[in-house]
Homo-oligomer: A and B are copies of this chain.
Amino acid sequence: MSGPDGKPRVLRIALLGCGSVGTQVARLLQEQATDLSLRAGARLELAGIAVRRPSHPRPGVDPSLLTADAMSLATRPDVDIVVEVIGGIEPARSLLLAAMKTGKSVVTANKALLAEQGEEIHAVSRAFGTDLYYEASVAGAIPLLRPLRESLAGDTVRRVLGIVNGTTNFILDRMDTSGADFGESLEEAQALGYAEPDPTADVEGFDAAAKAAILAGLAFHTRVTAADVHREGITEVTAADIASAKVLGRIVKLLAICERSGDGVAVRVHPAMIPRSHPLAAVGGAYNAVFVEAQSAGRLMFYGAGAGGTPTASAVLGDVVAVARNRLAGTRGPDLSTYAELPVLPMGDTLTRYHVSLDVDDRPGVLAPVAEAFARHGVSIQAVRQTSRGEEALLIIVTHVARDAALAATVSELQAFPVVRAVASVMRVEGEEDPS
């Protein structure tokens, strides 16, 4: 492994963060050293690991590599590649900006940073001619960003539809199989380590929304940030919703949906009912899967482990080999392409279908005014199912495709109806043709 001058080629890596992903990156850099060097074209040497508490013992990690001074490590002249697996905005943002300004190639798994400050960090990457790779930021080990950015560069992506958060998928899976409610299923996920003690980022959809922003940006060659994503989490999903979906041959999943729609793009994350026959319905537990519909390629699906230290480390190391090859060749990977500059449409303009559950008085004459309210807002009803429960009845209405704003207006009108005791839930229906 030597360069044109006969000297052995070495690229030195600074690892920022040593949690579940960082530990595996450090281990694999060591264990797979020979293979990685033969694939990259240079020996990949770990120059240092920045952690909060360097005195904390870490089995398998050489303590002399540990430092608390992340900034010095990220900008050290002998470092070629900076791998960031800290997560969150700061200090990750400052560290990566400084690293790129001192000419380092950057590999990161940081979805929040890319979705919230993507414009700034891509601009610095471009200005300083350094690589910025982030395959691990979305869907863990699943190769997804490289296919979108490169394999589909000659195609027009119409739609990306995916399950990109394993924690919520695990919880919804439990609710579906056991009939448990959200709270019980969350507790179970926490006990098994699938959910964090503070589960907000997952269950409120923030994690999925950041990933949706990244996917939409790549798919549509447009700048999309986390703030552009309409976001609803799963905390309001009830056991009754899950049961009703079941009766209708559907299952509830938290979906990230990125669509070309009219003259713009729509990006949203929310729970939705999909048919049990849909390939995404079978994606269980902590797995991720993403459908991509492109004009020429048709429907593609990518499936695999969406999180976890080792799978995510696989994606990080794939990027490390790629930036190493680029660095040795004196080049860099393709820039983020945002030339299309499509507007991000407001959620109200989204066209989709709805499953509305109403608690109504159980007496004749209830359906007519409810149906009229839908009609007044131009929302066409596809199916109605009424179940008596004593004095009260459960009225379930599934609509044809409608504008989100029209549905919202309908629901708000229904809430004021005397016969409607409560709007128990409103959930979107995705992944199936609208029967006419």
Contacts and interface: CB of A to CB of B under 8 A. Distances in A.
A322 B150 contact: yes
B297 A314 contact: yes
A69 to B, nearest CB: 27
13 contacts: A32-B154, A38-B337, A141-B294, A141-B296, A143-B147, A143-B150, A154-B320, A294-B314, A297-B314, A297-B315, A298-B310, A301-B302, A303-B303
Interface string A136-151: 0000011100110011
Interface in A327-346: 329-332, 334, 337, 339-340
A303 B339 CA distance: 29
A197 to B, nearest CB: 26
A419 to B, nearest CB: 45
A202 interface: no
A152 B297 contact: no
A-B pairs with lowest CB-CB distance, top 5: A154-B317, A143-B151, A141-B297, A143-B147, A296-B314
A304 B321 CA distance: 27
Nearest to A316: B154
Contacts of A32: 154, 156
Contact of A321 (B135, B153, B305, B332): B153
A183 interface: no
A237 B156 CA distance: 40
Contacts of A155: 314, 317-318
A357 B311 CA distance: 41
Chain B CB within 10 A, most for which of A32, A221, A298: A298
A227 to B, nearest CB: 25
Nearest to A37: B339
Chain B CB within 10 A, most for which of A24, A153, A305, A319: A153
Contact of A318 (B36, B151, B298, B310): B151
Contacts of A332: 329
Contacts of A301: 301-304
A98 interface: no
A421 to B, nearest CB: 42
